[in-house]
Structure 1
Amino acid sequence: MLVGAAVGAAPVAVAHAERWPIKVTQRHQADVPKPGTTSAANRRLQKDLSALGYFTGPWNGYYGPDMAQAMFAVQKVNGLRTDARWSEEVERKIRRGFVPVARSTSGDLVEVDIGRQLLMVVRNGKVVKVFNTSSGNGKPYGGGKIANTPRGVFTVQRQVNKMEKSPLGLLYRPKYFSGGYAIHGSGRVPPKPASHGCVRVSYEAMNWLWKTNSLPVGGRVWIY
């Protein structure tokens, strides 16, 4: 397998989040987003989160797995319990409009914040899309190996535009940045470290990364 190497350092931002001035939809008590349902309230929440850069999947009003991933992300950014459920507290945080701050200051790249388990698409120092992610869980596996995700600045070495079978499982449309480590789609992306070292995002998130060419071969990945 091709091996990706760290390609340099980048300046570190002092803040973890910044505020975006957006107008958030007013809600009534009986008109609130609910998991497992399809409603106008859910669609408004999808639009509000998308305005802040959180990836929600299609604006179809369905509060399903894609919305759960977006809620995980916004809860992480705001230091809330990650249960993927809407609440008045989550609503207040959304109204304040806080989004993550990039560490990089120029160029196009993907940043992975291991501490908060977030993946961010960054363009010229501005976070334009935020995803829930799940990285290495730090546990031993396979005869003494440890499930850690490598830190550093890497480039995408190769990519596979299909479901690929690896020794550790199935990787959906993987983009390899260091040996067998990849950013890839998965059917299970909890709000905590759970992989053998790869960086997981949802299937729809991976489709978006491919469709928008946000992480091409040669593209940078900064993991910290």
Structure 2
Amino acid sequence: MTIKLQTFTVLALSAGVLPFIATPPPAAAVTVRPAAPPPAESAERPASEETEKVEKVEEVKSKPVLLRPGHRGEAVRSLQRKLHRGRYYFGRINGVYDEQTKFAVWAFQKHKRMMPRKEVGPKMLAALDKPVRHKVLVPGGAPDRVEIDLRNQLLTVYRDRRPALISHVSTGAEVRYCENGRCGNAITPTGDFRVLRRAPGWTTGPLGSMYNSLYFTGAIAMHGSTKVPLRPASHGCVRVPLETSKRLYQMVKIGEPVHVRGKIM
């Protein structure tokens, strides 16, 4: 066997053919690590849920405090007290954000040149604690008088030249109307007038019901109403919130000057 192998090798070398010997390379050193376990979802979920809860709590704390119709409590009672001190609110201090409270909120917002809204936030609450610069429609007018601002839909009663009652109102819609066989123009006239007649309690006429009416020209009166929207909506009278109209009727007597100025926008 040795002689044959040597003979084969010599013949292969002489033919120029190198023998192929399939010798496996030395094995490389491989470090085998155990497979990583799958993410522990059940362990991570509680942590993320806890983070979400904290974020939600912080979000609630950062939101501005809002009072709106229907709310009750001490915050509403405090709001009513401040509105009463400012001569905007004349209803009960009952801690209920009712319709009369809403009308007083509108009166303050319009008096402060703010956009009338039902909601009360930090901006308005802060403004309630600051003095309001009042714009007089009739400089040099009588110490006791009534001013009606058509543009801002606001009524102010002065006592000794100081605002003693400030009310949101709804004046003539300035449209042509025909109701119950009666037609006319829904206009609240501008000018200088005086209270000519008083009608206590509810009275009903062809154009509807009026409460505690104070007539200052013809059939045009300042009176309490259950409908006092933000827009001019009357047939020409000056609609006043019911609770405010009670105080208005107590204050204003026959002969008191009434000044109507401005133009509805």
Q: What range describes the TM-score normalised by the shorter chain of this pair?
A: 0.7 to 0.9
8 Å Cα contact 1:102-1:127 kept in structure 2: no
CA-CA distance at 1:135 after TM superposition:
0.2
1:175-206 CA distances to partner (integer Å, 9 max, x unpaired)? 11111000011001112211010000011111
* Secondary structure of residue in 2 paired with 1:98: coil
SS in 2 for 1:96: coil
Given the two structures, how large is their TM-score scaled by the length of structure 2?
0.68
Q: CA deviation at 1:37?
A: 2.4
Shift of 1:144: 6.2
What residue in structure 2 maps to residue 177 of structure 1?
216
For the pair shown, which has the larger CA radius of gyration, 1 or 2? 2
Matched, 1:111 2:111: no
Distance 2:231 2:193 in 1: 23
CA distance in 2, matches of 1:89, 1:46: 16
Q: 1:215 aligns with which of 252, 257, 261?
A: 252
Superposed displacement of residue 170, structure 1: 0.8
> Which of residues 147, 155, 172 is equivalent to 1:136?
172
| 1: CA distance, partners of 2:242 / 2:133 | 23
What is the CA-CA distance between 1:85 and the residue it aligns to?
1.6
Residue number in structure 1 paired with 2:75 = 41
How far is 1:78 from its partner?
Answer: 2.4
Deviations 1:31-78 (A, max 9, x none): 763421221111111111222221241211111011101111111122
Conservation of the 8 A alpha-carbon contact between 2:90 and 2:243: no
> Which 4+ residue blocks in structure 1 deviate beyond 4 angstroms?
28-32
Q: Are the equivalent residues in 2 in contact too, given 1:177–1:221 (CA < 8 A)?
A: yes
Q: Is the 8 A contact 1:151 1:223 kept in 2?
A: yes
Pair 1:31–1:56, CA change in 2 (3 A)? farther
Aligned residue in 2 for 1:68: 102
Question: Quick one: which amino acid aligns to residue 118 of structure 1?
Answer: L
Q: Give the aligned partner of residue 101 of structure 1.
A: 135
Q: Measure, in 2, the Cα distance between the counterparts of 1:141 and 1:167.
A: 12
Q: Per the alignment, in what secondary structure is the counterpart of residue 162 of structure 1?
A: strand
Q: CA RMSD in A?
A: 2.1
| Partners of 1:45 and 1:128 in 2: CA distance | 18
Quick one: percent identity of the two aligned structures? 31
1:87 to 117, 121, 139: 121
Equivalenced residue count is: 195
| Corresponding residue SS for 1:43 | helix
